[in-house]
Structure 1
Amino acid sequence: MSDHDPSQTDAMSQLQAIREQLQLESQNRQEAEKALRISEERLRKIFEHSNDAIFVIDPKRDRVLEANPKAAEMLGYSRDELINSVQVSSIHPEEMEQVRAFGDKVLKQGYGWTNELTCLTKSGYNIPSEISASVILFEGQNCIISLVRDVTERKLAEDKLRRSEARFRTFVENAAEMFFLIDPEGKIEDVNQCTCNTLGYSREELLELSVTDINAELTPQQLWDLKENLTSEQPITIESWHRRKDGTVFPVEVNISRFGSEDYPREIALARDITERKQAQAATARLAEVGELAAMIVHEVRSPLTTVLMGLESCQSLELSERHQMRLNLALEEGERLNKLLNEILQYAREQKLELVDIDLVTFISELKSSIEESPAAKGKFIAIQSSVAEASIRGDRDKLKQVFINLVRNALEAIPEGETVTWGIEVANFPQHIRITIHNGGDPIPEETLHKLGSPFFTTKSEGNGLGVALAKRIVEAHQGELAIYSSAEAGTTAEVVLPQAI
């Protein structure tokens, strides 16, 4: 066994260690290169398949150094055209001042974002763009890599939303009802001009108030309970009282609905001043009371009047002097006139209960014409029916409609001299499913100051009239869900117009 030199052994050990170190470094380098290749491949795939256009640009030389397929697709160029022929300034021909400012900002701080630039396509179309950029070392120099997103659809949606909001604001501002937007604490967030005008506040003043400041009835607890019961699907309607800036109050009908997210629920309230409605309801109630009173009075007067008339009629069998006979006849005439007036008052005061049957107005009016022609008012005068329809079916009360048309035609006959004609027309109305009946005469026109009073109870221009004929006719027509109107002028004459719904 030979002796070994210790120094040789140490050298061998060192060589072995160096070899192992080199092998480890080579292995690490290979792994790093592999990881780098994988990373580069991943980045290349991201670059190639990105849904955003990606450009690498050299702002100093006004060049596109690299571009992905999406960039070529978005601008309508081939990739080779973008890199070899297209300049940055040709993509932003009208915006180079903004582009240079944006590029300087990116180079200075390392990154940047803007949505104020557009990109011009090969076909000449400007694409609204959102650009996110950062600094990248490319071919040994600092360049800019930009991710460009086509935001055309977003811009269109935003513009549509702005127009919708503008329309909504216009609608709200011009609405005839008060509008309130209420925050979760019951404070007023927004109002329209009608609210300001109605309550007497400026918009700024109202935005400092809460609901309970203008509602004369709601307490904070009641407001909270009301808000708790609200949903976006089911608005509620309440009647309450609002208080103006001057302290006066007025009745309102308020429609309230939930608005906004669950995290920040708000309410929209539309309030309508119902002062006139309340007054009309009160007037209707008073009229009902008056009607009941009138019916009671008529009943109380008609019974003794009937007895008086019976007594006067029995006196007709007596032999009286001419003077006393004349007074008896006058008393009988006045008694009958009073009895007729009481009957008409009773008819007007009562609720119009209809016995509806199917009626063909063409046949009905033709039959009615024959009986009216036998009346004294028609002596020496003519009635002409003009119908543009073969038949006109409605649902109506024959007796009550007969009363309406006899009254209107008789009035027309009384307005013309002998030898002239009253025209009775039947046609389809201007709005669907309705029939228009007109009764026209060419007599003296009704004065304008008188015309609007026709139909009012006890208003009459006749010396022997009581003013209930047209008023009662109007009530009967309205009970049929129709309308009665009277028009008059020197040129056109006078026309009574009745519009009734057709039978369905």
Structure 2
Amino acid sequence: MNLIQNLLRVSPEADERRLLQAAAQLVLGFTGLAIVTFVCFQLSVGVVRTGFAFVILISLVSLLGSFTVSCFLSIAAVACLDYFFAPPLFQFGNYVQDDVERIVAFLTTSLVVTALTAKLKRAASALRENRTRWEKAERMAHFGWWERDFTSKHVSLSDEVSRIFGMRPVDLPDWHRRWLDLIHPDDRAKAAEAAIAALNPGGPQYDVEYRVVRADGTVRMVRSQGDVTWDRSGKPLRQFGVLHDITELRQTERDLRVSEARFRTFVDQATDAFFLLDDRSIVLDVNQQACDALGYGRAELIGKHRRDFDAGLDDAAISELKKNLARGAPVTFETVHRRKDGSTFPVEVRVGQFEQGGRRFMCVVRDITERKRTEEALKRSAAYLAEAQRLSHTGTSVFNAHGSLYWSEECYRIWELDVRCGLPDGRRVLERVHPEDRDRVREQIRKDLRQKRERALEFRIVGRDGAIKFIETNSYPLFSAQGDIIEVVATHVDVTERRRAQEQVEKLQQLESDLAHMQRLGIMGELTASLAHEILHPIATARNNARAGMRLLDADPRNIGEVREALACVVRDADHARDIVGRIRDHIRKSHPRKETFDFNEAVSEVIAMVRNTIERNSVLARTSLMEEKAIVCGDRVQLQQVTLNLILNAVEAMASVTEGVRELVVSTEPGEAGGTLVCVRDWGPGIQPDEMERVFEPFYTTKISGIGIGLSICRSIVDAHGGRLWAEACFRGAAFKFTLPPASESSAARGVGEVHVEVLAARTADSQV
């Protein structure tokens, strides 16, 4: 039963193997008992000698492993002794006292010998298993042992040590020489000195790291440690040690150090400040941006309490934030930080919690000074826009397929709807439309939406008191990445007074009205062309980045870091467009131009980054060749970047018709005359005809089907205003547009950026008003 239970603990294969082994042992044992019984009976051998032969047989059979089978054989042997050798023969039952004692002695001896044999076999098996496990552990841990006998000059190595050294197990009297030959030449002296020092009484323990060069040329890093056994006279008898292959460990340590250095570099180069706090709000670590933002050194900040630089949160607020963090989600809030000099600035803080030897808080801090200023600007702009709409009787609305999304206050006033009732639906709006115009308006809107086009529509509405108003609407659809309309933006202008005035003077002043209308169209077209051309590129870039962000959100898995980067680019481009509008507004008001000294090489790199999507979409190979030293200029950075951007996009568009060869774009800067800077935008497109070299800079002259011919004219005006010069050159293939910028000291004396061009437009506007 014990045999069966033991066999049940092992695998089915082992179970089958043990059953076969036990069966073989049983068959062999009974066969041997039969043979010994037959021989001894024929030779008339007595109980004692036969029992001794049985003991030898059972001992040999016990080596096969099963103690239970050996016990069965012992009992069977007792039966044989009683039946064949103890009188009376051939029957069981023995009443001779001596024979009984002999049989009992045999049985006892047999069982003891069987138990000892089985125990010895189990011990040997366990020893083999332990040795196998030890060798396996050595291979897994790359850990082996070695021993030197200084009396016999005998060296013993484990298999793993031999494997580490890249050689077969050895027993060499000259091991020390062989050992030194296997060590890297640069490490031999260190290893030999450590070995000699360990053999000096009272010397240091043998512990050294060195490199092993195998026969195949591979190099392994090992650490060897050993203890020396001494005799009474202080003479070394033997030295036993262990050898550990630490190649992967040292490589991991090196990789970890490199990774830590790389991570520290990334963190220090981040534009946001990083603070690592413990549970008591004590600073444990910071990055360089945190030091720069607060005006402290890193050593000064580490150890400070959060309240030493946080002027916006008290302990109660911090306690509440910790409760929110305990729920497991990051927390974002706004506060105020105080610099070393006492000045303060607003920040946005995002806090995450984790465990690392205690509770830790990682705080990512962003300076939102500019954002706050922008918000105040947007609030003022919204107020200005509302006042402008009230003065011009122009309202704005936004709607989609589900209904209205936004109505301005002026829009409510024009349609005479109550703002307190919320956004009006389509039914309420159509109820206000004059019955004679209602079907026409409904059908026109449906048609424009089907054709996905802009529309201009004029119709009548009926007010609360029954008065009729004339409304002029202009709508502009916004499309998704798939080309579907997602929203429609519309303007509503109350043109009642204008219609009435037109009706009154239509016949008397038809010619004068047409002339004035044409003049207004020309002036507005010129102004619109200027403004549209200036802000078209940043808007297009922002749209591309927004679409890229939408694609990243649809990706699986989502890369939130890249989405955040795309949105940041949208904000950057929107700010860029806002700056352009601000520049034009300043020029119209004849305010002072915005001058700054900057590196034009950096400005060029920013422009290349802005149009990277457009360049790649048109399969253009773009490269830069920028001068090694900084190209310092003084002027309006946005305007000069706009010049570069316009030239680059013109070059990309010019190469759209190239079907053979490489579409290549090169933007270069080099020292110009008198310390200035020469900028060149070179394309491999169809080129420019010689008679068009100067005409391309004339206003409204264009060779493009969809062009308006204002871009290069504006570019030349901007460059001229900076005291430079813009021209075109023909190349063997393609064209090159070059412009020069004077040194910062000279360009500071140049006229306002774009001032000449805008003054001409303003003068024309004034003439038309007169």
What's the TM-score once normalised by structure 1's chain length?
0.55
Rounded to whole Å, the distance in 1 between the matches of 2:499 and 2:270 is 62
CA separation of 1:77 and 1:40: change in aligned 2, threshold 3 A = farther
The one of 235, 250, 256 equivalent to 1:161 is: 256
Q: Is the 8 A contact 2:696 2:702 kept in 1?
A: no
Aligned to 1:223: 318
Aligned letter for 1:88?
W
Specify which structure has the higher proportion of helix: 2
* Structure 2 residue 146 is matched with structure 1 residue 55: yes
What is the aligned counterpart of 2:764 among 464, 467, 472? 464
Deviations, residues 410-453 of structure 1 (Å, cap 9, x unaligned):
xxx99848xx9522356xxxxxxxxxx77567768323377997
Which position in structure 2 is the counterpart of 1:321? none
- 1:207 is aligned to 302
1:279-303 deviation per Cα after TM superposition (whole angstroms, max 9, x unaligned): 1111011111101101111239988
| Distance apart, 1:224 and its partner CA | 3.6
SS at match of 1:267: strand
SS across alignment from 1:463: helix
Q: Partner of 1:80: helix, strand, or coil?
A: coil
Equivalent position of 1:353 in the other structure: none
Sequence identity, in percent?
25
Q: CA deviation at 1:193?
A: 1.7
CA 424–161 in structure 1, closer or farther in 2 if over 3 Å, else same: same
* Aligned equivalent of 2:280: 185
Asked if 1:276 is matched to 2:370, the reply is: yes
Q: Is the 8 A contact 1:453 1:459 kept in 2?
A: no
Say whether residues 1:122 and 2:208 are aligned partners. no
Task: Give the partner amino acid of 2:704.
Answer: W
Which SS does the other structure have where 2:765 is aligned? coil
In structure 2, the CA distance between the partners of 1:274 and 1:106, relative to structure 1 (3 Å rule), is: farther
Q: State the 1:125 CA deviation.
A: 3.5
Q: 2:168 is aligned with what amino acid?
A: S
Does 1:98 pair with 2:190? yes
1:2-17 → structure 2 map (5 Å cutoff) = none
Q: How many pairs does the alignment contain?
A: 346
TM-superposed deviation, 1:129 = 1.4
Compared with structure 1, are the counterparts of its residues 440 and 316 closer, same or farther at alpha carbon in structure 2 (3 Å cutoff)? closer
| 2:392 is the alignment partner of 1:298 | yes
From 674, 699, 703, give the equivalent of 1:423.
703
Distance 1:232 1:58 in 2: 65
Q: SS of 1:229's equivalent?
A: helix
Give, in angstroms, the shift of residue 222 of structure 1: 2.7
Distance of 2:199 and 2:280 partners within structure 1: 45
- Whether the 8 Å contact between 1:231 and 1:257 is mirrored in structure 2 is no
The 1-side partners of 2:150 and 2:496 are apart by 113
Mark the CA change 1:304 to 1:257 in structure 2 (over 3 Å): closer, same or farther.
same
Task: Supply the distance in 2 between the matched residues of 1:39 and 1:133 (Cα, whole angstroms).
Answer: 30
Name the structure 2 match of 1:74: 164
- Structure 1 pair 109/46, CA: closer, same or farther in 2 (3 Å)? farther
Aligned-residue offset at 1:75 = 0.9
Q: TM-score, normalised by structure 2?
A: 0.37
**Change in 2 beyond 3 A, CA 1:171/1:113:** farther
Aligned to 1:246: 341
Change (3 A) 1:148 1:190: same
How big is the shift at 1:183? 1.9
Report if the CA contact (8 A) 1:111-1:134 is conserved: no
How big is each residue's C-alpha offset from its partner over 1:94-123, in whole Å with a ceiling of 9 and x where there is no partner? 434433453434765698474633333333
Matching residue within 717, 724, 731 for 1:446? 717
Check whether the contact 1:172–1:192 (CA below 8 A) recurs between aligned residues.
yes
Distance 1:40 1:312 in 2: 118
**Cα pair distance change 1:293/1:443, threshold 3 Å:** closer
Equivalent of 1:313, from 496, 501, 505? 505
| Larger relative contact order (CA 8 Å, sep ≥ 6) | 1
Helix, strand or coil at the partner of 1:240: strand
1:355-406 CA-partner distances (Å, limit 9, x unpaired): xxxxxxxxxxxxxxxxxxxxxxxxxxxxxx99958xxxxxxxxxxxxxxxxx
> Does the CA-based 8 Å contact 2:278-2:284 persist in structure 1?
yes
Classify the secondary structure of the residue corresponding to 1:464. helix
- C-alpha displacement of 1:68: 1.2
**Aligned residue in 2 for 1:267:** 361
Structure 1 gaps, min length 5: 1-29, 318-324, 349-384, 390-412, 427-436, 467-504
Q: CA deviation at 1:164?
A: 0.8
- Judged with a 3 Å threshold, the aligned counterparts in structure 2 of structure 1 residues 329 and 210 are, in CA distance, closer, same or farther, namely same
Alignment check: 8 A CA contact 2:198 2:204 kept: yes
CA distance 1:249–1:204, shift in 2 (3 Å): same
Distance change in 2, residues 1:443/1:229 (3 Å): closer
Q: CA deviation at 1:206?
A: 0.9
Q: Secondary structure at the match of 2:145?
A: strand
Cα distance, 1:58 vs. partner? 5.8
Pairwise CA distance, 1:232: 11
State the SS of the aligned residue for 1:217: coil
Distance in structure 2 (CA, Å) of the matches to 1:141 and 1:94: 28
* Alignment-mate amino acid for residue 53 of structure 1: G
Give the Cα–Cα distance (whole angstroms) in 2 for the partners of residues 386 and 41 of structure 1.
Answer: 84
Matched residue type, 2:170: D
Trace 1:241-390 onto structure 2 (pairs within 5 A): 241-261=336-356, 263-299=357-393, 306=498, 309=501, 313=505, 316=508, 333=516, 388=656
Mind listing any 5+ residue stretches in structure 2 that lack a counterpart? Answer: 1-115, 395-492, 532-652, 658-694, 723-751
Shift of the 337–99 alpha-carbon distance from structure 1 to 2, 3 Å rule, reads closer
